[in-house]
Structure formats: C-alpha cells, structure tokens
Amino acid sequence: MKNNMRNLLTLSLALVLSVTLNASPVPPINPNQQVELRYAGTIDNNPVYQLDLVNREPKGTVLVSISDKNGVTLYRENVSATSFSKKFLINRDELGNEPVRVEISFSGDKKVVLYEINSSTRTQTENTVTRIF
C-alpha cells in the first residue's frame, strides 16, 4: 500500500512537471515586435494557418517567407505595416505531408522567428462501455 502511494505521488509529480515545462512562455525577440502563427482550420481538407505580426519599430519592414523542406520558396513578401494579419492555405495535394517552414525576419534585427509546420494524419478509434442496468 505504501509503495502504491509512493508510485502515485511520483506519477502525479512527473505529470505536473511535464505540463509546467511544456507551458513555459517563449521569450519575445523585441517588445516592439510580436509574432504569432496559429492553426485556423481547414478548407477542402487543406490546413489554413493565420500569421499575425505587430511591428512598432519606426520605418521597420518585416520579411515573411514560406518554403518547403527543399528550400523552394512558396511565398515571400516584405511588409512595412505596423500590424499585419494574413491566412495561408497549405495545399497538401501538392506538398503531401512534408514540413513547411515559415521564416519571419525584422529589418535592422539579426534575429529571425522560424516556425516549422508538420502535418500528420491518423485514425483514432474510441470505445466506450456503458452500464445500462
């Protein structure tokens, strides 16, 4: 009994630590520059991602580049606005499940924000047993 309690305590502590470590925030590059890339849904079974940028630097431009795993540029744009939001559809019929890289670089700053989008498809079967009487 004592050994079971110790195992349960160890398991719960490991669970709390793993959730805490995975939820740690990413430090910002610059407080005046904010980048967020998130999954926005699907259109015709192709994933859509939304990129939101805030650049409060005066006369600053942002380079947004999307490329495949071979380095072929799929999209490239220089943005000079202080706020920018755009949705991107990744055509999985052409790219398959290979990773896609999104690179955001701010002018005058040597740091780059880099995202990699990986897609995987899986089938999950869920069984439920319900007591009727």
Q: Which domains does the chain have, with CATH numbers?
A: 33-117 (2.60.40.1930)
Q: Is the dihedral of CA 19, 24, 26, 32 positive or negative?
A: positive
Highest mean pLDDT among 3-7, 86-90, 104-108: 86-90
3-state secondary structure string across 79-111: ECCCEEEEEEECCHHHHCCCCEEEEEEECCCCC
What's the CA gap between 12 and 18, in Å, rounded?
A: 10
**In this predicted structure, what is the pLDDT of residue 19?**
40
pLDDT tens digits, one per residue of 37-88: 999 988 988 889 999 988 777 677 888 999 988 889 999 999 887 788 999 9
What percentage of the chain exceeds 70 in pLDDT?
74
Q: The whole model's pTM is what? A: 0.65
